[in-house]
Structures are given as C-alpha cells and as structure tokens.
Chain A
Amino acid sequence: MITKGLSCLQNNDTQATVIDPDNVFWAMTAKDAQGAPFVSREILSLYQKQKDSLDEEMKQFRFSAELSAVYIDPTDRCNSNCPYCYVPAKMRKNGAQMTTEQLRQVLNKVLDYFSGKERKPVIIFHASEPLLAKEAVFSAIREFKDKFSFGLQTNGLLLEKGDVEFLKKYRVGVGISLDAPLRSLNNKTRPSASSGFAARRAPRGEPSVKGGNFDAVVRAIEWFDGYAGLNVISTMTKFNIHSLDKMVRFLHSKKVPCVLFNPVRFTQKHSLKVKPDEKLMTKNFLKAVDSAIELSQNSGRRIIVANFSNVILSIVAPEARRMMCDISPCGGGRCFLTVTASGEMIPCGEFIGLKNSSGGNIFKTGIKEAMQSEPFQKIRSRFVEKIAECDVCLYRNICGAPCPAELGSMGNMFQKAVFCEFYKAIIKHAFKLIAEGKEKYCFREEGWDNLVYNYKLL
C-alpha cells in the first residue's frame, strides 16, 4: 500500500478527507456519484502550493533537538502506591532525595545549558512525589522565579492551603493526580503508601490522607478555585473508564480548566493487571470529550481534555503542539529530559526503571553531553517510518505511536502503540469535530485566539 502524497480517508457516505500523511496537509471534500472523493482543482492547487513548505516545517518540528523543558525528580520516594506506577517500588520506598543545595546545583547546570539562548526554559518537578521535598522545591521556585517557568506534578497528598497560595502567586503550572470523581473508586488506583508514613505526615488538624488522595485533591482543587494553571491528570484503567464522563462534569463543576485522560502504560509489567478494554476505553473517552465540548459551548466556562486537544492540534496546527508523546520521534531526549533524584539524566521519566537509559549524571557531566549520549540518540532514532504498521498508516504523524519506553520494556520499541486502535478512533473523531466546526471548544480561549491561518480554503 502506497501512502505517499495525497491519500483518502473515508468519513461517511457523502464526504471524504484527503491527507498527505508526511506533512498532514488535509482537505475535506464531497464524494462523487461512484463514492470516490472529488478532489477539486482548488484543493490540488492549494496542496501543490503548500507541500514543500509543509514538508520542511514538519521535518524541522520532528527532527530538531532543541531542548525546551527539563523534568526534575527532587525525590525518588513516594507517599502513594499506584498500581501502574513506572517508578520501581523499591525506589519509591527507599530512593534518593535531593537536598536544597543539590537542587540548586541542578538548576544552575540547566541555566548554563540555556545560557545565550532566547528561550526561557521550563522546569517541571515530577515523579515520584516532589512535595516530599517541598522545602527544596519551594526554595528553588523562589530563587529562580525569573529564570525559569515552573511546573509541578503532584498527587496532592501533602498540599496545604498555604502551598496552593504560593503556587498561584508564583504562577506555577500544577498537574494534580485524580483518577475518578468518587472516593472509593479513585482510592483503588491512587492509594496512599502502605507504610502509613503518608498518614503520619498529614498536617495537624487536617483530614488523614490514609486510604487515598481523593479528599486531599478535592480540597486542593477548591483552594485553587479556577486557577488557570491547574490541570488534573487521570490514568485510564479498567477501574475508572466508566466514570470519565462523570469526571469531566465533576471537574467542570469545580472550575478545573483542563484534564488529561492518559491510557495506562505498561512500562512496568504489574500495570497489565489494570489494563482496560480498548473499545470500552475509546467509547468512554470520546463520550467524555463530547461532554467537555458541550459544557464549554453552553456554560460559558471551558474545560478541555488536553490529550484530545493535542490530537486536534496535530491536524490543524501540528507545529503548535506542546505535549510530546504523540510526535515521532517523541520529545524524550530531544525537547525535554528528566533528571532523577540521584542526578541521572534520562530521556524521559518513563525510563527511570529501565537499564542503559542514563546519558550521564548531572553532578559529574553536563546536559550537552547527555543530549549527545547513546541512550538519547537511540530514542531520537525511533520514529514511525521504521515501524512496519505505522509506515503505511495515514495517521502516522498525528499519533506518533507512543511510547518507546513502554514498547522497549515489552521487548521491541519498533512496534505500533499498545492502544493503536484507540488512537485511530480518536483521530477519526477529531476530523468529525473539525467538519462540524467544533474544534475551537477543544482549546482554552486564549490558546485558540492565539492561532492565525497559515492558509485556508473554507
């Protein structure tokens, strides 16, 4: 099957979409009496006019290795025990933790790397649970507030009201983990660590965090009170896929502007135990997307499903994407990297439990050396044209076949995504919404308003 140049996607009985999968030029068109797509002279002319520049833009976007963000794990330890975590259990229990001074050293190394570059780098404090090193993290945010844009991913167990005020004051982007809108359901996959130390660390007078993070997260969401920098991250498993629609409505009622529904990854084998049925996950995910659009359209307050928004973006504005998992090669070791609590530089946090992933230790060497290291080059060399099924797929530059860490741990990173059919279905849905003119409801208003036409045929 040849998938070079324009190829046809079947939309419905009367309409088709033609697409060049290499540069994601697309056009929607009517079908003729025989059911074949009618590609007008205007579409062909537009395609011929734009093709070379779109090819070049896509090449630059996919294969440049310009770092824009660094994930830092200030601690390997965690006060949760989620069944799908990609951080090995031993590490979460007894792993390393940076001191305030070590974290300063890391941030200064990052500054050195970005010295002379126009771009203000993004620092994201990430897994395991960064608020176990709260003092070091907050101290760093205070000291480096003018040098970096900061983000924080947390399970919320240790968030106190004063912390929320601090994060809002410093305009920190905050991702908070919540899997379901019901306490019992959420706490199945977001339990506190069995050691009980999470419970002991609960602030005096505050509800115990023993059991799971539901109460702590809902309380924190209310403190955030519609903060533009808040997003909720849900991992889709066999337990929560029936509640995605309710989750969207629940979060919207709490003024949360953004949610991500990420399919569980199988980088660690134990997460296979919570694998959802792919068809059910797809159906419920799309129902949640439609609910988010309906709420955004009718309530005057938007909520976006960010990983779906990224799929829409990959069609209408591919170079505007920020989330890097569905680009091929992915952003790991290319647009971002992770520094673990012991200082190891790995292409992405997902690699933390995998052997031969380190590009060097930041306390001994530099980011430049890590970017040129063999493990980083290996990840950058994994792209869809090298995967047999993807090389002939019309969606190859929309989905990107995630994730190399997950697939590598399963034996071969040069294979299609575990949830390939899920991605195909949501891309089809994205084209349907574009045909209906609903795509703007998939973005924050300021994001959509910030886009202008490169070209249009409407």
Chain B
Amino acid sequence: MAKKIESGKENKKQKSRPVSGEMSYRLKCAKTANGLSHFVMYGDVPKEKTLL
C-alpha cells in the first residue's frame, strides 16, 4: 500500500510505532533562540513570565 509523503511545516503527534513499519522523516526547528535551536545546553534557559 502506498504511503503518503508530506513536506512542509506541520505539527506532529507521535504515537508508538510498530517495529516493522516503513518510515522516514526529517525535522527542523520551527523557531530558534538567537538563531539557534534551544534544546539542552547553555544560554538556552527559557525566560519566565516575570522579565528581569
């Protein structure tokens, strides 16, 4: 059965997948902090509602 190939910005809802499924995907950052994605490390601390 043909799979649907999609591209472009789209929110994702992820569920557990069967181990034998066919799949491929690539993600990119929707928005960035200082031009960089903000995941884990230094300089990426999310600002709280109360600004400094």
Contacts and interface: CB of A to CB of B under 8 A. Distances in A.
Interface of A: 12, 14-15, 25-30, 40, 42-43, 45-46, 49-50, 54, 68-69, 118-124, 145, 148-153, 169-173, 175, 228-229, 231, 258, 304, 306, 309-310, 313, 316-317, 319-323, 435-440, 443-444, 446-447, 450-458
Q: Tell me what chain A mostly uses at the interface: helix, strand, loop, or mixed.
A: mixed
B22 A30 contact: yes
A327 to B, nearest CB: 13
10 contacts: A123-B43, A151-B41, A151-B42, A173-B42, A439-B14, A452-B11, A452-B27, A453-B9, A454-B28, A457-B25
Contacts of A121: 34
Given A46-B5, A450-B37, A149 B24 contact: no
A151 B43 contact: yes
B8 to A, nearest CB: 7
Contact of B14 (A169, A175, A440): A440
Interface residues of B, number: 45
B37 A30 contact: no
A253 B46 CA distance: 22
A171 B52 contact: yes
Q: Tell me what chain B mostly uses at the interface: helix, strand, loop, or mixed.
A: loop
Nearest 10 A/B pairs, CB to CB: A151-B42, A229-B45, A149-B43, A27-B24, A122-B43, A173-B42, A456-B25, A437-B17, A317-B27, A451-B27
B20 A173 contact: no
Contacts of B48: 171
B21 to A, nearest CB: 7
Nearest to A68: B36
Contact of B24 (A28, A319, A450): A28
Contact of B34 (A122, A304, A319): A122
Interface in B31-52: 31, 33-48, 52
Task: Output the residue of B5, B20, B41, B46 with the most chain A CB within 10 A.
Answer: B41
Contacts of B39: 306, 309, 313, 320, 322, 443-444, 447
Contacts of B11: 452
B32 to A, nearest CB: 8
Contact of B42 (A14, A175, A309): A175
A322 B19 CA distance: 29
Given A42-B2, A228-B46, A453-B26, 16 more contacts: A27-B24, A43-B22, A68-B36, A121-B34, A124-B42, A124-B43, A145-B52, A317-B29, A319-B29, A320-B37, A322-B37, A322-B39, A437-B15, A447-B38, A456-B10, A458-B23
Task: Output the residue of A121, A153, A455 with the most chain B CB within 10 A.
Answer: A455
